[in-house]
């Protein structure tokens, strides 16, 4: 049986960091946090069983294994980019394209989408899952719901509130927070370490997920307590699938932002509807 490949995101983080010789510069280039790039590179190193970088106080340098891997990864990414350039990603006529993370699509839009389709039966919708900044560029969407810091998400984007992080769990999971397994969302600046600094305690995560949506899904099934954006929590709490595990909350350094192409009437309608849903 062929050995499975590491995720493409790990290779992208490595390639950017290898060119920049900086996790921070690589994060700015590909639209992630510095901690996410560092974690993805570390995961790739663990998977390959070698060190790809030497870490120094003032930056990075490639190891012999890193120098050997870089040209192969760079060539592979160029090949993938060339392959996708041959396709026209323009949406069909009279179809509203919405680019967003799976977390927003699953926990905010999907539970209420029937309300929108009944109000506006003539608007056809296409949803695209987008994480990287160039995902939004190639999607050519009229509505974009981006995640990141204010600097990362770009201009013409409205910050969505509430933007605090709250602890959520299944009602079936009982006991004090300190005794429950914790779920960490990798790739965000704030997590349980920030909770300890602001609220107090020595809480350490046991399960790691790469998105708020995945963390919520794991919490919903009783696997632990997820620290996620309050913006995503309404449906889970109102439906009884989730509940607060603690009354406290902490500020989030990253958040969700809405960008709407105002020249599209359908996009403007969807944007207004979405803002009305989140403002509740």
Q: pLDDT class for 93, splitting at 50, 70, 90?
A: low
Report whether 50 contacts 65 (CB < 8 A): yes
Domain CATH code at residue 268:
3.40.190.10
Q: Based on the fold, state whether residues 183 and 239 are members of the same structural domain.
A: yes
Residue 1: predicted pLDDT = 46
- Cα separation, 260 vs 266, in Å, equals 10
Please give the pLDDT value at position 135.
Answer: 58
Residue 88 lies in a domain: no
- What's the structural domain count of the chain? 3
Crossing angle of helices 23-30 and 34-48, rounded to 10°: 110
* Phi (first) and psi of residue 260, to 5 degrees: -125, 135
- What is the pLDDT, as a whole number, of residue 231? 94
pLDDT tens figures, 151-171: 777 667 889 999 899 999 999
Confidence of residue 80 (pLDDT cuts 50, 70, 90): confident
In a domain, 126, yes or no: yes
- 86 in a structural domain: no
Q: Check whether residue 240 and residue 173 sit in a common domain.
A: yes
Quick one: 121 and 149 in the same domain?
yes
**Contacts (Cβ under 8 Å, ≥6 apart) of 37:** 13, 16, 17, 23, 26, 27, 30
Residue 153 counted as domain residue: yes
Domain that holds residue 107: 95-160+256-279
What tens digit of pLDDT does each residue of 209-250 get? Answer: 988 999 999 999 999 999 999 999 999 999 999 999 999 999
Range of weakest confidence among 27-36, 69-78, 197-206, 238-247 = 27-36
Cis amide bond preceding 36, omega within 30: no
Enter the tokens of residue 68. Answer: 């050997």
- Choose among 122, 131, 157: nearest CA to 275: 157
Q: CATH code at 20?
A: 1.10.10.10
274: how many CB neighbours lie within 10 A of its CB?
A: 22
Mean of the per-residue pLDDT values of the chain: 88
pTM: 0.68
Residues 134 and 151 in one domain: yes
Residue 157: left if φ>0, alpha if ψ -120 to 50, beta else—which one?
beta
Same domain membership, residue 190 and residue 219:
yes
Q: Do residue 63 and residue 182 come from a single domain? A: no
Is residue 189 over pLDDT 50?
yes
């Amino acid at each position: 049986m062929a050995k499975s490949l590491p995720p493409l995101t790990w290779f992208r983080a490595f390639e950017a960091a290898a060119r920049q010789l900086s996790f921070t510069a690589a994060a700015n280039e590909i639209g992630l946090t510095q901690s996410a790039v560092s974690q993805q590179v570390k995961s790739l190193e663990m998977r390959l069983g070698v060190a790809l970088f030497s870490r120094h106080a003032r930056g990075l340098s490639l190891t012999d294994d890193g120098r050997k891997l870089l040209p192969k990864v760079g060539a592979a990414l160029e090949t993938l980019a060339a392959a996708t350039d041959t396709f026209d990603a323009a949406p069909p006529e009279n179809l509203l394209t919405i680019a967003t993370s799976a977390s927003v699509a699953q926990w905010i839009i999907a539970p209420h989408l029937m309300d929108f389709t009944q109000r506006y039966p003539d608007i056809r919708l296409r949803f695209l899952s987008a994480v990287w900044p160039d995902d939004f560029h190639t999607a050519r969407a009229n509505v974009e719901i981006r995640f990141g810091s204010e600097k990362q998400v770009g201009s013409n984007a409205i910050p969505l509130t509430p933007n605090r992080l709250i602890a959520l769990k299944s009602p079936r999971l009982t006991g004090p927070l300190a005794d429950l397994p914790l779920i960490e969302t990798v790739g965000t600046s704030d997590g349980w370490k920030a909770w300890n600094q602001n609220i107090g305690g020595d809480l350490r995560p046991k399960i790691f997920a790469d998105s708020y949506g995945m963390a919520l899904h794991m919490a919903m099934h009783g696997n632990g307590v997820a620290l996620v954006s309050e913006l995503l929590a309404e449906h889970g709490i109102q439906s009884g699938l989730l509940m607060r595990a603690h009354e406290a909350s902490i500020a989030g350094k990253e958040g969700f932002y809405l960008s709407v192409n105002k020249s599209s009437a359908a996009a403007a309608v969807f944007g207004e509807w979405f803002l009305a849903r989140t403002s509740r």
